[in-house]
Amino acid sequence: AQSVTQLDSQVPVFEEAPVELRCNYSSSVSVYLFWYVQYPNQGLQLLLKYLSGSTLVKGINGFEAEFNKSQTSFHLRKPSVHISDTAEYFCAVSETDKLIFGTGTRLQVFP
Amino acid sequence: ETGVTQTPRHLVMGMTNKKSLKCEQHLGHNAMYWYKQSAKKPLELMFVYSLEERVENNSVPSRFSPECPNSSHLFLHLHTLQPEDSALYLCASSQGLTIVGNTEAFFGQGTRLTVV
């Protein structure tokens, strides 16, 4: 079975600083990878997804992620964060008919 | 607003109560899901419905009983719950069962359940 590891449970960062949220997955076969964001008191919203093709995927709100097959990673990055980016971020991998999620990373942006 | 609406947003129930969570999607999707989100744990898939038929049940205790009367509505009936069942319950829908390709799962805002 697939699994997803998000090593950082919390990432504090100052506004306008760059940020990277790490995600590693376990799989030796082709995978589809996703990042979801959950704002306070909200459901999950898709940020971006990797299906095939270019390993650099651009999503909404200025986020991007890079698929690295050799390192089985799919880290999420943003060059300059805003206060409004404060949220929980979930990495997920698809398995047949369902999504397998990581435990989430809480991004806290300080002014 | 994602097109998936869950009610109620918050629910407090005793261990002997019976309650139901409701999910409604306005997206014309044919697959719906229940997820449980507990603190410090990955989201857990509970149930999957495709074309109103249950296609997956991930070893969920029988005190949780899903119902999908049509492709737009999904319920989660709760009875004799335990305090450890307190969590955020998220509903999602997608067009097509497999969440790949152009298919995307749309989530509701969740129901925050507290069992006392």
Ordered per-residue pLDDT tens for chain A, 111 residues? 778 999 999 999 999 999 999 999 987 666 789 999 999 878 889 999 988 888 999 999 999 999 998 999 999 999 999 999 999 999 998 866 677 889 999 999 999
Chain B contact set for A42 (CB, 8 A): 109-110
The DSSP symbol for A104 reads -
Which residue, B33, B12, B17, is CA-closest to B93?
B33
CB pairs under 8 A between A and B: 56
pLDDT recorded at residue B58: 73
Q: Which residue of A has its CA nearest to B49?
A: A97
Q: Where are the beta strands (DSSP E) in chain A?
A: 3-5, 10-14, 19-21, 24-26, 33-38, 44-50, 56-58, 64-68, 73-78, 87-95, 98-101, 105-110
Instruction: Select, from the ranges A74-78, B45-49, B80-84, the one with the highest average predicted confidence (pLDDT).
Output: A74-78
Contact A32 B2 (CB under 8 A): no
- Does the beta-carbon distance from B107 to A102 stay under 8 Å? no
Q: Is B48 exposed, middle or buried (0-12, 13-18, 19+ CB in 10 A)?
A: buried
**What number of other Cβ atoms are within 10 A of residue A88's Cβ?**
19
Contact partners, residue B50, CB within 8 Å, separation at least 6? B30, B31, B97
Of A41, A43, A94, the CB nearest to B107: A43
Query: Which residues of chain A are within 8 Å of residue B96 when distances are taken between CB atoms?
Result: none
SS3 of residue A50 by DSSP: strand
Tell me which of B19-33, B50-64, B77-91 is least confident. B50-64
* Adjacent-strand bridge partners of B90: B35
Contacts of residue A28, defined as CB under 8 A and 6 or more positions apart, other chains included, come to none
Q: Do A45 and B2 touch (CB under 8 A)?
A: yes
Inter-chain residue contact A101 with B100, CB threshold 8 Å: no
Phi, psi values for residue B43, rounded to 5°:
-60, 135
